Amino acid sequence: MPDTLLVIEDEDLLRQELARHFENSGWVVLEASDLAGARRALLSDAGEPLVVVADMNLPDGSSLDLLEAIRAKAPVGEWIFLTAYGSVPDSVRALRLGAYDFLEKPCSLERLDLVVAGAARSARAQRRLREETAEQHERYRLDSFIGTSPSGSEVRRLMQRLLNIPLNTLVITGETGTGKGLVARILHYNGLRSDGPMVEVNCAALPNELLESELFGHEAGAFTGAKGRHRGLMQQAHGGTILLDEIGDLSLPLQAKLLKAIEDRRIRRLGGEREIDVDVQVFAASNRDIAALVRERGFREDLYHRLSVLKLDLPPLRERLDDLEELVGVFIAEQNVRAGKSVRVVPEDVWEMLRSYSWPGNVRELRNVVERGVLLAESEVFPKQWLQLPGDLRPSAAQAGGGAQREGDHIGLPLDGTMTLDEMERFIIQTALERSGHNVTAAARSLGTTRQTLRYRIEKHGLKPQS
């Protein structure tokens, strides 16, 4: 479908010439000779013009006044102003209102074509962003965090309170798969900065040398291979939110630079000579105990206190098993749509297995299990044989003959894929605690580690030492 261009010009011959020119270029052209006609065209059902080419001064007023009035009501595309009486105040006001360009008459059609083409690209990008943002608003409603258990309801209650608070920083903690990214998106797309961008970066996925450039940007020639200027993620998130996932993996020098950026609300690109103002709220997420990292001097205490003004801790799935039925129902419905299946019945023995499993991968693992079952289902009954859950990691299950075995002073661990590394680590720590009478110091000595490190891993795996 051709894009629409609006020409606002009171000189009839010039307006008609411009209209013919752009129609020959494939545009659907609307015409207006005064502000009243332009307002009708902009607010009509013909659709939002992608580009507006407007004479600055019209018989009934200034096009700048029209832009300011219309922009407050609806998206208006990109505006290009033409004037034979250009002035510095007018040009400054036009740019302040978001005009794409400001050209003096007479302007050649070749020059105008170049400017209109650039404005069209910018307007299409803005339109896609608005559509994507609207889609994200719908996708990440508050009730997207599923669960009516006491702990699940408490998380939603806290999120509801945070939505109306002008957040600067927030720490979101929880085990892998508990939904930290989901919570961050819900808070952004329903919060006070919902009109701004949402930028996410996984701090564990990039080496620190590259991560610094990604966060703060760089100038051309700042390092080998830096051929051009790069706007960092902090600058890209200006006016919105940046989510720093797995922030515990940041190096100490990079933590210092991040602290300065948060405190000063300014960044400096690598190789840059000036600082750039940034207005961004920072969400920090981690599946590690950052307070324990601070005690072990693996994380800066001042950065931790700056980030954790507000903190949201997400419970593991094993502590909200009352939400299993609702979660499974939603995941089955999603996969039925995607895979064209019609799974509707979950047998009771399947529910028993789901409730007895400890879910080390939490909601993400549950979603994957449900997806596999629906994809391989041959009827409307959820297939038990495709659950493929590894042995329950709770001590009673392991002692009852699970995959991991205890023999004297030795531990046997299966290497057949039935236990993940996290499951193996949990089993080893649980065994060491039991053999030491839950004496953390003695257990740490037997495992060849420090008491502080062992306490961190005990907390990570949800174990309960008795002393």
What are the start and end residues of each CATH 1.10.8.60 domain in the chain? 317-386
Instruction: Name the phi and psi angles at 416, rounded to 5.
Output: -105, 10
Q: CA–CA distance from 205 to each of 200, 245, 362, 453 (Å)?
A: 12, 10, 21, 23
| Burial bucket for residue 336 (CB in 10 Å: 0-12, 13-18, 19+) | middle
> Tens digits of per-residue pLDDT, 447-460?
878 887 888 888 88
**Short-list 371, 392, 390, CA closest to 382:** 371
Please tell me the least confidently modeled range out of 196-210, 221-235, 311-325, 342-356: 221-235
Q: Exposure of 146 by Cβ count < 10 A (0-12 exposed, 13-18 middle, 19+ buried)?
A: middle
Of the candidates 436, 399, 404, 406, the one whose C-alpha atom is nearest the C-alpha of residue 423 is: 404
Amino acid at 381: V
d(CA 342, CA 131): 31
Cβ neighbours, 10 Å, residue 199: 20
Name the average pLDDT for the chain. Answer: 86
Query: Coil, helix or strand for 334?
Result: helix
pLDDT of 417 reads 63
- pLDDT more than 70, % of the chain: 92
Handedness of CA 43, 46, 51, 52 (dihedral sign): negative
Q: How far apart are CA 125 and CA 236, in angstroms?
A: 15
> Cα–Cα distance between 119 and 80 in angstroms, integer?
8
Q: Report the greatest alpha carbon distance in the chain.
A: 98
Please choose, from the candidates 376, 374, 324, 369, the residue with its C-alpha nearest in 3D space to the C-alpha of residue 351: 324
Can you spell out the DSSP letters for 182-210? HHHHHHHHTSTTTTS-EEEEETTSS-HHH
How many residues in the chain?
Answer: 467
| Closest C-alpha among 84, 133, 132, 74 to residue 105 | 84
pLDDT of residue 394: 41
**Distance (Å, whole) CA 153 – CA 198:** 25
Q: Rounded to the nearest 5°, which phi and psi values hold at 68? A: -65, -40
- How confident is the model at residue 340, as a pLDDT? 93
Q: What pLDDT score was predicted for residue 166?
A: 92
Tokens of 164: 């109306």
* Superfamily of the domain at 395-460: Homeodomain-like (1.10.10.60)
Per-residue pLDDT for 239 more than 80?
yes
Tokens of 402: 């699970």
Q: What is the CATH number of domain 317-386?
A: 1.10.8.60
Residue-wise pLDDT for 133-172, tens only, equals: 777 777 889 989 999 999 999 999 999 999 989 999 999 9
- Is residue 260 a contact partner of residue 226, using CB atoms and an 8 Å limit? no
AA letter at 29: V
Q: Is the pLDDT confidence value at 279 over 70?
A: yes
**Domain 4-136: CATH class, spelled out:** alpha beta
**Which pLDDT band, with edges at 50, 70 and 90, does 56 fall under?**
confident
CATH 3.40.50.2300 range(s) for the chain read 4-136
For residue 231, the model assigns a pLDDT of 81
Amino acid at 465: P
pLDDT of 409 = 59
Q: Which of these CATH numbers, 1.10.1130.10, 3.50.30.50, 3.90.1170.50, 3.40.50.300, describes 146-313?
A: 3.40.50.300
DSSP string, 438-455: T-HHHHHHHHTS-HHHHH
Pick the more confident residue, 245 or 448: 245
pTM of the predicted model as reported, rounded to 2 decimal places: 0.63
Model confidence over 281-306: pLDDT tens digits?
999 999 988 999 999 999 999 999 99
Every domain range in the chain assigned CATH 3.40.50.300: 146-313
Separation between Cα atoms, residue 391 and residue 419, nearest integer Å = 7
Select from 292, 293, 299, 306 the least CA-distant residue to 254.
Answer: 299
For the chain, counts of helices (H) and of strands (E): 19, 18
Is the separation of the CB atoms in 26 and 37 below 8 Å?
A: no
- Which residues are within 8 A (CB) of 417 and not within 5 positions of it... i.e. 6 or more apart? none
The whole-number average pLDDT for the span 389-416 is 55
Q: Are strands 241-245 and 281-286 parallel, antiparallel or unpaired?
A: parallel
Domain with CATH 1.10.10.60 in the chain: 395-460
Q: For 342-384, how does the pLDDT look when each residue is reduced to its tens digit (9 = 90+)? A: 999 999 999 999 999 999 999 999 999 999 999 999 999 999 9
User: Six-digit token pair at 201?
Assistant: 């970066």
pLDDT of residue 44: 77
